[in-house]
Structure 1
Amino acid sequence: MISKSIKATLICSIVLFSSCKEETKIPEKTMSDNVLIQKWTGPYKGVPAFDKVSVEAIKPAMEEAMKLNLAEIETITNNPESATFENTIVAMESTGKELSRVFTYYGIMGSNVSSPEFRAVQAELAPKLSDFRSEISQNEKLFQRIKTVYDASQETPLESQAQRVVDLTYKQFEMNGANLNVEKKKRYAEINKELSTLYTDFANNVLHDEENYITYLKEDQLGGLADGFIKSAAKIATDKGETGTYAITNSRSSMDPFLTYSTERELRKQVWENYYSRGDNGDEYDNNKIIAEILKLRKERVGLMGYDNYAEWRLQDRMAKTPENAMDLMMAVWPAATARVKEEVADMQTVANELGDNITIEPWDYRYYAEKVRKKKYDLDSDEVKQYLQLDKLTEAMFFTAGELFNYKFTPVAEGSVPVFHEDVNVWEVTDKDSGKHIGLWYLDPFARQGKRSGAWATTYRSSDSFEGEKNVLASNNSNFVKPAPGEAVLVSWDDATTFFHEFGHALHFFSADVKYPTLNGGVRDYTEFQSQLLERWLSTDKVINQFLVHYKTGEPIPAALVEKIKNASTFNQGFGTTEYLASALIDMKLHLADPTDIDIDKFERETLDELGMPKELPMRHRTPQFGHVFSGEGYATAYYGYMWADVLTSDASKAFRESEGGFYDKTVADKLVKYLFAPRNAMDPAEAYRKFRGRDAKIEALMKDRGFPVPETK
């Protein structure tokens, strides 16, 4: 998952700010005493003062930064000169530097090191931030200036990047109610304010359930679990004051391996229920009523602008364009995915019967027996593969890939030279391998901990643009690997290694940006996952496997026979992976197409999945009450389908590499990859960019083949 930038995530793409170039055309402002607002100092063109952050500083910093930004906007709005690209659009691109810095700290505290005290501040700030956004997005005089520039550009187009930023700015204001009358604008702002509080409440409820539902094991309940996992679980339990036990936390990184290997079926059920019941426990932290209210407010808000439903409004500026196009893609894949699940379940049931287990496969059995099927069919043991997947070596593999494709070199910075927000965070300098030119810094925060949201994501603290001079990039990857006991290696699953590469793809997308204006660093949601999904493919290339997959104890390279087994099993369990994902994406879309009046969320989820023919043996990847992508904000609302949309591009682009003379390291194709798919960010229409890379539009056939599904006949 990507958080393209903390600023963009929290502003919800309503207000278009620039990043952190320090000169400004806006009248000088007095230097604040609040460290969160102050210009970044130190090496590498200035870095965030993460070592000086405090909860107490957040609220006053945010309030001051909002005032400063509103003053900047007011200066632009009241400019007596006629609106031009320079005095309106470029001037807007130059605003918000103080706010951008504050949001960097705010985002870190919210995602990586949250606390009850910070969550209280979040709740207090949410409605104030909403008011702030509305004050800009509904500024009639400002919008008229934007419209003047936009209309003029339709008669006399500007150079390509300037025209793109004008088009995007106008569209964002238009989509967010700028053309509404006074009465409707007032209601629009009220709805946004209500939603901002609901989003915060939703996210905090999920975080509460992740932190408070922990399964503690006794010594005689560890059957099937790997030694490293046991040691880590013991340390977590000790840290929580439960010495002598073993803690299975309510996070995917803990739940997934436990369900895969534990021989304790009742405990597997308990851990499964804890995880998939987050936000759905019928208590004060239950999210079902919050979701129902969010859906009602979203529909009402887009109705003010004449849209029938939220999905219709949201997808108009995405690659899919319409909900129907998104649904067509998902339903083209769904039958093949669910049919494959039936085959997988039959195989698992056969194994269970052969073992004399006398059970019928249930959701908490799927991973456990799938692993046994994998071993039976392909003689492949996932735990054996993990011995060759060390986090440190995978990091080196990513650096190697970045060097081959992007000509980047990663060098650890001197210890203590760059402030970090937690002792687990490490930092590298990114330079060009040939010229030595400094490109930026890469921060890695790899481990799960109290107060850190689940999952994996990428973000930027400073993005690249050039309209006020070139800037370096400060990018971050964040994971939730289980921290090992002291002295133990961090071993991860193949799926987790794939996700690690995925998120690094987002970071490379940030580093390689070649755009003039800050707005162009944004992205189209069903396209920006494509670049990171594509980078996953390099994990399984021979160069990475042969150099970086070595045994964590002996240092011996992974045996060729084991590599062959991995490749032979590449489409194994694709029914599970595709179906659990698509179920979430389909529910996301169908919820936003439905009438939310008196909607019962649990009932809707259950009945819709029944209608779709969802296999009973597995759940959605993200059940609705914990679906933070969609209900803790709006970034992925009616857009979770985007991973599948992007994967069509990914499979098709991968084919271009496979068919080239140099395979995945072909220099010519790699140069086109960087030039057309990474560097432009949102400076070019995604469909046009892909055609420049591939010479045509993407086709679904490669995706179906990659997943081992029947390839549809070409009509």
Structure 2
Amino acid sequence: MTNPILSNWTTPFEIAPFSDISDDDFSPALEQAMKEHNAEIDAIAANPDTPTFANTIEALEAAGGQLDKVLSVFFTIAGADSNRKREELQRAFSPRLSAHFSGISSNKSLFKRVADLWARRDDLDLTEEQARVLMLTHRGFVRAGAALEGDEDARMQEIKSRLASLGTSFTQNLLADERAWYMDLTEEDLNGLPDFVVDAARAAGQEKKAKGPVVTLSRSLIVPFLQFSPRRDLRENAYRAWAARGANGGETDNRDIAAEILALREERAKLLGYDTFADYKLETEMARTPDRVRELLMQVWEPAKSRADTDADVLTQMMQEDGINGPLEAWDWRYYAEKRRKAEHDLDEAALKPYLQLDRMIEASFACANRLFGLEFKPLDVPLYHPDCRAWDVTRDGQHVAVFIGDYFARGSKRSGAWCSAMRAQAKFPKKQTPVVINVCNFAKGDPALLSYDDARTLFHEFGHALHQMLSNVTYESISGTSVARDFVELPSQLYEHWLEVPEVLAEFATHAETGEPMPQEMLQKVLKAANFDQGFQTVEYVASALVDLAFHDGEAPTDPMAKQSEVLAGLGMPKAIGMRHATPHFAHVFAGDGYSSGYYSYMWSEVMDADAFAAFEEAGGAFDPERAKALEDNILSTGGSREAEDLYLAFRGRLPGVDALLKGRGLIAA
């Protein structure tokens, strides 16, 4: 029988036929797809004809189609709906895939053809896009170690294989800790919690098959619990468990894994001739150097820490007024910050949440995309990998543009956080293909599902990534969609968050779950006025994580990452009552793979641009100014990685921004 993963997909828009695929199909499909890909690569490398862009670079672009299908399906469900079998497969696949792709990047005959083209690039009469793809292909080979010989080449392959296995183990350990821990709550423990937290705790208890309501380590449940529970002992227990993910000892402890990853990254960078891994990693980013990253982060750190210190004094006073002596702790901050927000802004999250229905926020994100870019969204009835998923056909002027899939609810089989991925990226070569894009979130289930304001921002954020994929309009898949510098990729997502804060958007879509009434104007004003509330805390917890990440990679790899983390935080004067947003043992951005390693700063780098980019709309005709929307699509959203990120932003805005727009946007300096 034909393996359903490798068959010709006859589903609508050639979406993966999830209902026909079993876990047993993945291993043989991977084996066959890698075999086919190797044959394609061997044919390119052994081609006796003089290298041309068509017979080498375009041939590489066209190769591996079957493997792309296998990996897109597998990694989609491995991240969003894992089980023991899939975890076993992921552990087995990681070193095999590393060896497969390392074999390609270290293929000397293939690299010789690419290097030959690179040497003759000025005589090849390439289009701008082709020249960019050639440069990126050549650079990719060099940075992967293609120019290494002998023992150094062999060691590079060993390092990459080991890093792939370690990253998988780190991720699975974290998921195991998050899945295993929960805290039973009695009916009395629910006192003081708003209805939406109680409902989420009861739903979580049902999923865990517990006797009653529980708190889990899902962010959409534990954060509101820390905000609203008057029980300090329960908050402490929950917070300590949340902070200890990946550091509980035993088989799921990530601390030794983090140390080995850092050592291997340093060795990898030095094999390639770089002083540090940060030098290697940042060479291809907008920031270019560790010093420029550190400069930006410290420009933000000082005003943020000053604000946080002032806020800590206020919250400590509130705590003492409750009869609690001693210092403000990390499990106290969110609780007293929420009380303060209610007192100072008269904004109660429990009263706000019924106006932020998941379905209405999805509609809002779609409506903004329609007004800005003319996109329309029609529900699709197609088999998907989980009953929680839903899909839409995305069109413009009656023409199909993309398939968008949303997977919004938290569950034990899904890793934490939120992300966007493309099961199929846009391309025109070797044939035209439209993207299939997925947003995955971890919102608490409910009937109806209600979001916090932070949840709603996350939804808009991930949809911004989706628009970057859906509106892509390039020839080659390797530069399609979000295939851009890491510190540029967050610009479209963070920029799109701004449309949630447009008053007319909230006025139309923030309607009460029971009455259907729009959010009262008074509450709307309070929401917008409080948008920068507690920015000292939020900025400090983020920047601390980014600075620790940079310190790990900008110098000799620490043998004890936890000691290095403590050293960095002490040097910063980290406020005692604020924890890092991602402490080392659960810092998946940095240790699950190389994506954000030495690059967690990227969100802040992009935020410098997104604050300035939205100002461009405000300076023009407003949030939905058609000329600015067209400029955004033409110069950023449709262009993928076809040009340098700095050039793309300059084409959109005419200049590069300074950090002041970010600080003003966060309310850390006067507007």
Fold shared per TM-score above 0.5: yes
Q: Which residue does 2:660 correspond to in 1?
A: 701
Q: Is the 8 A contact 2:356 2:511 kept in 1?
A: yes
Alignment of 1:98-497 (within 5 A): 98-155=66-123, 158-243=126-211, 245-413=212-380, 415=381, 418-432=382-396, 435-484=397-446, 488-497=447-456
> Equivalent residue of 1:489, what SS?
coil
Residue 4 of structure 1: aligned partner? none
- The CA distance in 2 between the partners of 1:300 and 1:354, in whole Å, is 54
Q: Is the 8 A contact 1:448 1:482 kept in 2?
A: yes
Distance 2:318 2:261 in 1: 44
1:34 is aligned to 3
Alignment of 1:535-684 (within 5 A): 535-596=496-557, 599-660=559-620, 662-684=621-643
Q: For each residue in 1:382-437, what CA deviation from the matched residue of structure 2 results, as whole angstroms up to 9, or x when unmatched?
A: 22211210000000001100101110000112x3xx220011111111001xx201
Q: Percent identity?
A: 39
Q: Please state how far the C-alpha of 1:223 moved relative to its aligned partner.
A: 2.2
Worse overlay, 699-708 or 342-351: 342-351
Shift in Å, 1:616: 0.7
Summarize the Cα distance change of 1:571–1:228 in structure 2 as closer, same or farther, 3 Å threshold: closer
Does the Cα contact within 8 Å between 2:507 and 2:524 map onto a contact in 1? no
Shift of residue 375, structure 1, vs aligned partner: 1.3
Segments of 5+ residues of structure 1 without an aligned counterpart are 1-31
Segment drifting more, 273-282 vs 355-364: 355-364
Displacement after TM superposition at 1:86 (Å): 0.6
| Cα offsets for 1:318-372 (capped at 9, x unmatched) | 1011111111111111111111111111121222233434453110011100011
Select between 117-126 and 526-535 the one with higher mean Cα deviation. Answer: 117-126
Cα distance in 1 between the residues matched to 2:493 and 2:609: 11
- What secondary structure does 1:483 align onto? coil
Superposition deviation, residue 112 in structure 1: 1.0
Contact kept? 1:66, 1:99, Cα under 8 Å? yes
On the 8 A contact 1:398/1:504 being kept in 2, the answer is yes
Per-residue deviation, residues 288-317 of structure 1 (Å, max 9, x unmatched): 111111111111111111111111001111
3-state SS of the aligned residue for 1:480? strand
Partner of 1:508: 467
Alignment correspondent of 2:488: 527
Q: Is the 8 A contact 1:345 1:361 kept in 2?
A: yes
The residue number in structure 1 matching 2:457 is 498
Cα separation, 1, equivalents of 2:257 and 2:324:
42
Residue deviations 1:689-708 (CA, integer Å, cap 9, x gap): 11111111122111111111
C-alpha spacing 1:266/1:683, structure 2 compared with 1 (3 Å): same
1:422 is matched by which residue type in structure 2? H
CA distance in 1, matches of 2:320, 2:525: 29
2:385 counterpart letter in structure 1:
F
Does the residue aligned with 2:613 lie in a helix, a strand or coil? Answer: helix
Q: 1:235 and 1:377 mapped to 2: Cα distance?
A: 32
Report the counterpart of residue 24 of structure 1 in structure 2: none
Distance 1:469 1:97 in 2: 11
C-alpha separation between the residues in 1 aligned to 2:83 and 2:475? 38
CA contact (8 A) 2:635 2:648 kept: yes
Q: 1:411 aligns to what SS in structure 2?
A: strand
Q: Which moved more, 1:461-470 or 1:309-318?
A: 461-470
| Counterpart Cα distance in 2 of 1:711 and 1:464 | 42
Count of residues in Structure 1 that have an aligned counterpart in Structure 2: 669
Q: Distance in 1 between matches of 2:293 and 2:155?
A: 30
- 1 CA distance for matches of 2:636 and 2:657? 13
TM-superposed CA distance for 1:232, in Å, is 2.8
Deviations 1:163-193 (A, max 9, x none): 1100111111111111111221111001111
Is the Cα contact below 8 Å between 1:652 and 1:700 reproduced in 2?
no
Give the whole-Å Cα distance in 1 for the aligned partners of 2:588 and 2:21.
26
Contact residue 701 and residue 711 of structure 1 kept, 8 A: no
Does the CA-based 8 Å contact 1:206-1:278 persist in structure 2? yes
Q: Distance in 1 between matches of 2:241 and 2:122?
A: 55
Aligned residues: CA RMSD: 1.4
- Is the 1:104–1:461 Cα contact (8 Å) retained in structure 2? yes
Q: 2:200–2:221: 8 Å Cα contact kept in structure 1? A: no
Q: CA deviation at 1:460?
A: 0.8
Question: SS state of the match for residue 329, structure 1?
Answer: helix
Q: Deviations over 1:16-35 (max 9, x none)?
A: xxxxxxxxxxxxxxxx8221
User: Do the aligned partners of 1:53 and 1:105 also contact (CA within 8 Å) in 2?
Assistant: no
- Asked if the contact 1:352/1:359 (under 8 Å) is kept, the reply is no
The answer (yes or no) to whether the contact 2:503–2:524 under 8 Å persists in 1 is: no
> What's the offset of the Cα at 1:711?
6.6
> 2 CA distance for matches of 1:233 and 1:471?
43
- Counterpart of 1:474, as a letter, is V
Tell me, what secondary structure is at the counterpart of 1:387? helix
Q: Distance in 2 between matches of 1:262 and 1:479?
A: 24
- Secondary structure of 2:623's counterpart equals helix
| DSSP 3-state at the match of 1:248 | strand
- 8 Å Cα contact 2:76/2:423 also seen in 1: no
Q: Which moved more, 1:147-156 or 1:78-87?
A: 147-156
- Which amino acid in structure 1 is aligned with residue 41 of structure 2? I
Q: Which SS does the other structure have where 2:629 is aligned?
A: helix
Mapped pair 1:51 → 2:13: no
SS of the residue 1:663 aligns to: coil
Secondary structure in 2 matching 1:229 = helix
Displacement, 1:155? 4.8
Secondary structure of the 2:445 match is coil
| Residue identity opposite 1:704 in structure 2 | L
Measure, in 1, the Cα distance between the counterparts of 2:85 and 2:124: 53
Structure 2 regions of 5+ residues with no counterpart?
Answer: none
